[in-house]
């Protein structure tokens, strides 16, 4: 569904195999090895909040920018969105040029808002699956300004 379920399962399987083997590898080694399986698996060896660079395999732990008890609603529409198709339509010349660390600092200071919740894959995902854009518009309209932010996670 694009929320990291498969990657977190892979990280857990590596961690469990290491535990059952007598902890032969450090968590740092597991994190490095996991990047060969999938780019976002190393994140799941972080401490809950992290800044990821490279393909996602370079992980720097951060203090959580928001409280873990902040209410959030996740919506998973029944339609699938091809990640490969989304990336094919990504135009890097139109990517947001704000430094992610600057956004994290702003979130830490001011909280969640629509201007700090950015995802360069949102527009291409809307091209691939126009119903995603309509869904976002319906959620924003139904919220009547009550939501701090409405944004897409991952590649759709």
Q: Mark which of 46, 64, 82 sits at the end of a domain.
A: 64
For residue 140, CA distances in Å to 102, 126, 143 come to 25, 15, 5
Q: Are both 75 and 52 inside the same structural domain?
A: no
Close Cβ partners of 14 (under 8 Å, ≥ 6 residues apart):
30, 33, 34, 37, 41
Q: What is the pLDDT of residues 97-155, one digit of tens each?
A: 888 889 999 999 998 888 888 889 999 999 999 999 999 999 999 988 888 889 888 77
Q: Give yes or no: residues 45 and 3 share one domain.
A: yes
The pLDDT value recorded for residue 11 is 96
Domain extent for 128: 66-155
Residues 83 and 129 in one domain: yes
Question: Same domain, yes or no, for 56 and 72?
Answer: no
Q: CATH number of the domain at 34, please.
A: 3.30.230.10
Tens of pLDDT, residues 64-94: 888 888 888 888 888 888 889 999 999 988 8
Q: Are residues 58 and 75 in the same domain?
A: no
Residues 6-30: tens digit of each pLDDT = 899 999 999 999 999 999 999 899 9
DSSP-derived 3-state class of residue 111:
coil
Beta strands in 31-139 (DSSP E): 50-53, 58-61
Is there a single domain that holds both residue 109 and residue 42? Answer: no
Q: Are residues 85 and 151 in the same domain?
A: yes
Tally the domains of the chain. Answer: 2
């Amino acid at each position: 569904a694009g929320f990291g379920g498969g990657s977190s399962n892979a990280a857990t399987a590596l961690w469990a195999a290491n535990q059952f083997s007598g902890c032969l590898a450090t968590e740092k080694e597991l994190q490095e090895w996991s990047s060969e399986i999938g780019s976002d698996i190393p994140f799941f060896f972080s401490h809950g909040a992290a800044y990821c660079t490279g393909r996602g395999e370079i992980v720097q732990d951060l203090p959580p920018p928001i409280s873990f008890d902040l209410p959030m609603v996740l919506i998973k529409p029944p339609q699938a969105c091809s990640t490969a198709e989304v990336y094919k339509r990504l135009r890097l010349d139109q990517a947001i040029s704000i430094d992610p660390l600057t956004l994290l600092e702003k979130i830490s200071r001011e909280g969640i808002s629509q201007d700090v919740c950015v995802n360069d894959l949102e527009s291409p995902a809307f091209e691939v699956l126009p119903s995603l854009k309509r869904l976002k518009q319906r959620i924003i309209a139904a919220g009547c300004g009550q939501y701090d932010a409405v944004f897409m996670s991952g590649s759709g």
